[in-house]
Amino acid sequence: MPFFPAHKLPLAVLGLVLVALPFLFGGKYQLSILILIGISAIVCVGINLLVGVAGQISLGHAAFFGIGSYASAVFTGDYGWNGILAMFAGILITSVLAATVGWPILRLKGHYLAMATLGVGLVIQLLLIQEAGITGGPDGRAVKALTIFGLRVKGEWAWYCIVAGALFVVVWGAQNLMSSPWGRALRALHASEPASAAAGIDVHQMKVAIFAASAGLASFAGSLYAHALAFVTPDQASFLHSVEFVVMIVVGGLGSVYGSLVGAAILIVLPQVLSSLSDYENLAFGVLLILVVYLLRKGIVPTLRLIAVGGGR
C-alpha cells in the first residue's frame, strides 16, 4: 500500500543497527572505521540521488567533499569561527558553487557530463593543492577540534555518535524525499525527459537542484571528516576519491538509499582487509570490483530485495 509508511521500518532497523554497532565493534580502531563508513555513507546517499535516481553521472563529487573539509579547516583555524558555523558556511559555498557550475554542465549528457564533472573536480583539487598559503599545499593541514556548545568533541565514541546521528537524519530525509512528489519527479526525469517535461517538471532545474544538494551533503561529510581526523589533504578531493564514491553506490545498488550505506561499508572495509596483502592489494581490489559488478549487476541491496521478494512467493 503506497501510504503505509513502509519506509519507517527500515529506518527503525537502521536506528537499531547504528546503536548496536559500537557495542559489537567497540575497539578504537574499529570505531574509527565505523566513523569513516558513516561519513562516506552520507556522501553516497546524496550521490545516489543524483546518479542512481536522477541518472546524472558525476565523477567530481570528491571535490565538493574537499571544499567542505577545507572550509572547516580554514574558517576554524585561520578565522577562529565556530565549527558549526564553518560547517554551514562550507555547505552554502559548495552548494552555490555546484549550482553555478551545474547550471551549464547539466545540459550535457552521459559521457560528456562525466567528462565535465571530472574536469570540474580536477580543477578544484588543483586549486586546493596550489593555493598553499590557504590550504597548506599538497601535504595538507591540521584541523582544529570541533566544539559544540562549548564542549570539545573528543575520542572515537563521541565522533561515532555524531556521525551515526547525522547519517540517520540524512537517511530519514532521503527516504522522505524519495517517497515525495519531488523524488517521483527525479525518478521520472531519469526514465523519460520529454514525458517529464510534458507533465510540467522543470527537468533542468531539478537536475541542478539535486546536483547542488548532493554537493552540499558531500561538503557536510567533508567537514565531519576534517574534524574527526583532525587533518585534511588534497587527496580527499581527488578523481580517485570521486570514483570511489561512485563505486560505492554501484556496488551497494544504484538508486537505493540503503545500498549507499552497504556500498560505503564494503568499500571502506575491503581495503583494510586487503592491505594485509600488501603488494597484491591493487590487483585483488581491481579483480574483486570486476567480480562484484559481474555477480551483482543491480548492486547488493536491490539484489537481496529481489531474492527476498522471490522467496516470499
Partner 1 sequence: MVDFLQFLVAGLSQGAIYALVGLGFSVIYRATHIVNFAQGEFVMIGGLGTAGALSFALPMPLAILSALVAGCVAALVLDLIVIRLARFAPALLLIIVTIGASVALRGAAQLAWGRNFHSIPSPFGSEPLHVYGVAIMPQVILILVTTVGAVVGLQWFFRRTRFGQAMLAAAINPTAASLVGIELRHVYTATFLIAGLLGMIAGLLITPLAMVHFESGLAFSLKGFAAAILGGLGSVPGVVAGGLLLGVVESLSAGYVSSAYKDAIAFLLIIVVLLTRPEGVFGRRSTGRV
Partner 2 sequence: MSGLSINDLKVHFGGIRALDGVDLTFGSSGIHALIGPNGAGKTTLVNAVTGVYAPTAGRVLFDGHDITGLPAHKLATLGVTRTFQNLQIFWTMSVLENVLAGFHLDSSAGFLRGLLRGPALVRRERELTTAALGLLRLVNLEAKANNPADALAYGELKRLEIARALAGRPKLLFLDEPVAGCTQSEKCDLAEVIRNAARESAVSVVLIEHDMRLVMAVSDRVTVLAQGRILSTGTPSEVRADPKVITAYLGTTQSHLAEQVHAVAG
Which residue bears the cell 547488493?
Answer: 300
**Between 152 and 184, whose beta carbon lies closer to partner 2?**
184
How many residues are there in the chain? 313
86 binds, among partner 1, partner 2, none (CB under 5 to 8 A by kind): none
Phi and psi for 151 in degrees, rounded to 5? -95, 130
The region of 31-39, 124-132, 149-157, 168-176 touching partner 1 under the rule CB under 8 A is 124-132
Q: How far is CA 84 from the centre of its chain?
A: 19
**Between 243 and 269, whose beta carbon lies closer to partner 1?**
243
| Residues 254-293 close enough to bind partner 2 by CB under 8 A | 255
In one-letter notation, the amino acid at residue 79 is Y
**Between 109 and 152, whose beta carbon lies closer to partner 1?**
109
Residue among 194, 310, 311, 312 that touches partner 2 (CB under 8 A): 194
Rounded least distance, CB 271 to partner 1, Å: 11
290 binds, among partner 2, partner 1, none (CB under 5 to 8 A by kind): partner 1
Residue among 281, 303, 304, 305 that touches partner 1 (CB under 8 A): 281
Q: Does 185 bind partner 2 (CB under 8 A)?
A: yes
190-228 burial string, b = 16+ CB within 10 Å, else e?
beebeebeeeebebeebbbbbbbbbbbbbbbbbbbbbbb
**Between 188 and 268, whose beta carbon lies closer to partner 2?**
188
Residue among 62, 116, 128, 217 that touches partner 1 (CB under 8 A): 116
Q: Does 247 bind partner 2 (CB under 8 A)?
A: no
Cα(186)–Cα(214) distance, integer angstroms: 13
Residue among 17, 20, 96, 195 that touches partner 2 (CB under 8 A): 195
4 binds, among partner 1, partner 2, none (CB under 5 to 8 A by kind): none
Q: Under a CB-based contact definition with an 8 Å cutoff, are residues 213 and 49 in contact?
A: yes
DSSP labels for 184-249? Answer: HHHHHHHH-HHHHHHTT--HHHHHHHHHHHHHHHHHHHHHHHHHHHTEE-GGGGSHHHHHHHHHHH
Q: Under a CB-based contact definition with an 8 Å cutoff, are residues 214 and 46 in contact?
A: yes
Strands 151-152 and 141-142 come out as unpaired
Contact set with partner 2 (CB under 8 A): 2-3, 173, 176-177, 179-185, 187-188, 190-192, 194-203, 209, 213, 255
- Binding residues (CB under 8 A) for partner 1: these are 51, 57, 104-105, 107-112, 114-116, 118-120, 122-123, 126-127, 130, 194, 239-240, 243, 246-247, 250, 254, 279-290, 293-294, 297
